[in-house]
Amino acid sequence: MKKTLIGALFLSAGTLPAQAQISAGTKLLSTSLHYSYQTTEEVLNSLNSKQGKLVYEEFGFVPSAGYFVTENLAVGLTGQLSVRKRHFGTAASGPGTITGVYLEQKIRTLSGGVFGRYYKFLGEKVALYGQLGVNYQNNYYYFSSRYDSSNGRGLYAYLSPGLVFFPSNKIGLELAMRGASYDRMTNERDVINSSATKNTVTTSTFNFGFGLNDLNLGISFYLGRN
């Protein structure tokens, strides 16, 4: 009876669909995009409690290239360009107007670094992955309300989860989250049209991005995969 039961278990296991793998030597090329747009009605105490519309926009572009050093594990290089904008305006306001109030904040980020990505397949067509990376980044900030700008430089480390659907062996459609990150930045503030000495500040920050606004859509190509 025991032999029959064990034989049946092995037979049923042999009929389960085999999970796909990505073999060593496969080359990875991927890119992802992110865009978010939000508007809220806000009251700014710094502007004598004026009420207006606060608009937040963010765009991100992340290209990557990697090589699978072993099965399902890739290492490689990645870069990032992101632009974030915040606008606050009251009635009849806008750039160049004299009625109402218009404030603007811009943050531009450029970064590049190394990453490692490991895949865990859930079947033939779907896989989860975790990506660990370290980047060097440069940030540029501009604040119209204070007529100043600043530059930041430093290291950025992150751990992000993702999901890949494979319509074919060589193409993957990705859905990734920003995940958890840590950065240590040194910022130099420069007041526009002023001879004042630059202020230098070093900050360390932990960030967590697991919401809908932290989703990135991407596509990846697996060159040389069978």
At 47, give phi and psi (nearest 5°).
Answer: -115, 45
pLDDT tens per residue across span 183-225: 999 988 766 555 556 678 888 999 998 888 788 999 999 999 9
21-223 adopts what CATH topology? Porin (2.40.160)
Between these two residues, 142 and 47, which has the higher pLDDT value? 142
DSSP, collapsed to helix, strand or coil, labels residue 144 as coil
Q: Across 16-20, 169-173, 212-216, which has the greatest mean pLDDT?
A: 169-173
Q: Is 135 in contact with 160 (CB distance < 8 Å)? A: no
pLDDT tens per residue across span 52-62: 777 888 899 99
Domain ranges of the chain: 21-223
DSSP state of 147: T
3-state helix, strand, coil in the chain (%, to 5): 10, 70, 25
Between these two residues, 147 and 40, which has the higher pLDDT value? 40
Q: Is 174 in contact with 163 (CB distance < 8 Å)? A: yes
Residue 38 pLDDT: 84
